[in-house]
């Protein structure tokens, strides 16, 4: 299966990418992750990811970054769209520019396509899996900062705002998991490149580490995963469990 995020509103398309990745990682915490751009793209590598799975991993999550900006990778990908759709692994295309003929082909096979356009945007835009929101007074990603700063009251208030807007708790959990993952990645290095993060995200995550011990981060990660699985099994309500998790921080 695959998703496609595209458009010239890079900030919000990247935010959606991080939210989607966080949601997928919360659902599949053991999945392997690969990021492919034009610098490390190869036909053999993509074919391997289409068919292969890790020895202990149920699935791969693969980010395909701006590959349709290159003629060679574009020609190859067009031949593999049906295979990507049928793959057991999950692929996420993210593109700033994509022409109409290619987009039309993607629409035939993609699980979901979302466009992020600066011209169409009014206020700040947040896109959930179920509905689009134009939000002028509320930035969903403030949740990540409140969590990192360990401001429980602020985090709880922001969570209530998501509920008033009918934003699924899975989206909130995904953002929390993304921030938590960024903190883990920055934990044992002083270099954003080595951590695999953008400098802005790395610096904030590094600063957030002062608010949690290593044991607390591991416990929080485990609790977030448990909340998802228990809700899926019908043992608890996702929104209530997530609220209790926030109160316990």
Same domain, 71 and 38: yes
Alpha-carbon 238 to chain mean position: 19
- Domain match, 172 and 94 both: no
Is 126 inside any structural domain?
no
Domain count for the chain, please give it: 2
Largest CA distance in the chain: 51
Exposure string over 147-186, b if 16+ CB within 10 A, otherwise e: bbeeeeeebeebbebbeeeebbbbbbbbbbbbbbbbbbbb
Residue 33 lies in a domain: yes
The Cα 117–Cα 104 span in angstroms is 17
Whether 243 maps to a domain, the answer reads: yes
* Domain co-membership, 150 together with 85: no
Domain that holds residue 218: 142-248
Would you state the pLDDT for residue 11? Answer: 81
The C-alpha atoms of residue 133 and residue 171 are separated, in whole angstroms, by 13
With a pLDDT cut of 70, the percent of the chain lying above it is: 89
- In this structure, the answer to whether residues 114 and 8 fall within a common structural domain is yes
> Per-10-residue mean pLDDT for the chain, 249 residues long?
90 87 85 89 89 62 92 93 92 92 92 82 45 58 94 94 85 92 92 90 94 94 90 87 93
DSSP 182: H
Task: Give the CA radius of gyration of the chain.
Answer: 18
Is there a single domain that holds both residue 11 and residue 117?
yes
Determine, yes or no, domain membership for 20: yes
* CATH label of the domain that carries residue 161: 1.20.272.10
> Can you give the CATH number for the domain in which 21 is found?
3.40.50.300
Q: Give me the chain's average pLDDT, please.
A: 86
Smallest Cα–Cα separation from 3: which of 83, 134, 141, 109? 109
228 plus 194 within the same structural domain: yes
Residue 131 in domain:
no
Predicted local distance difference test score (pLDDT) of residue 27: 83
**Predicted local distance difference test score (pLDDT) of residue 130:** 44
Locus of tokens 């977030």? 224
Same domain? For 99 and 157 the reply is no
pLDDT score of 137? 56
What is the pLDDT, as a whole number, of residue 121?
44
- At 160-213, the pLDDT tens digits run 988 888 888 888 999 999 999 999 999 989 899 989 888 989 999 999 999 999
């Amino acid at each position: 299966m695959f998703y496609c995020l595209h458009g010239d509103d890079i900030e919000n398309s990247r935010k959606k990418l991080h939210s989607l990745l966080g949601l997928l990682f919360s659902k599949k915490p053991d999945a392997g992750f690969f990021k492919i751009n034009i610098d490390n793209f190869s036909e053999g590598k993509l074919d391997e990811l289409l068919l292969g799975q890790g020895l202990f991993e149920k699935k791969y999550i693969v980010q395909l970054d701006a590959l349709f900006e290159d003629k060679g990778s574009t020609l190859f990908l067009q031949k593999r769209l049906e295979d990507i759709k049928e793959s057991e692994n999950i692929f996420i295309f993210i593109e700033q520019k994509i022409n109409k003929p290619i987009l039309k082909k993607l629409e035939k096979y993609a699980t979901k396509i979302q466009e992020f356009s600066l011209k169409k945007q009014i206020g700040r835009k947040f896109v959930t899996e179920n509905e689009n929101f134009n939000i002028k007074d509320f930035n969903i990603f403030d949740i990540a900062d409140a969590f990192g700063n360990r401001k429980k009251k602020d985090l709880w208030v922001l969570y209530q705002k998501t509920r008033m807007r009918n934003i699924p708790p899975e989206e909130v959990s995904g953002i929390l998991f993304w921030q938590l993952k960024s903190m883990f990645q920055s934990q044992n290095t002083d270099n954003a490149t080595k951590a695999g993060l953008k400098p802005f995200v790395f610096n904030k995550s590094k600063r957030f580490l002062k608010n949690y011990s290593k044991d607390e981060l591991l416990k929080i990660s485990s609790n977030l995963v448990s909340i998802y699985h228990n809700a899926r099994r019908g043992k608890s309500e996702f929104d209530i469990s997530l609220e209790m998790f926030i109160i316990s921080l």
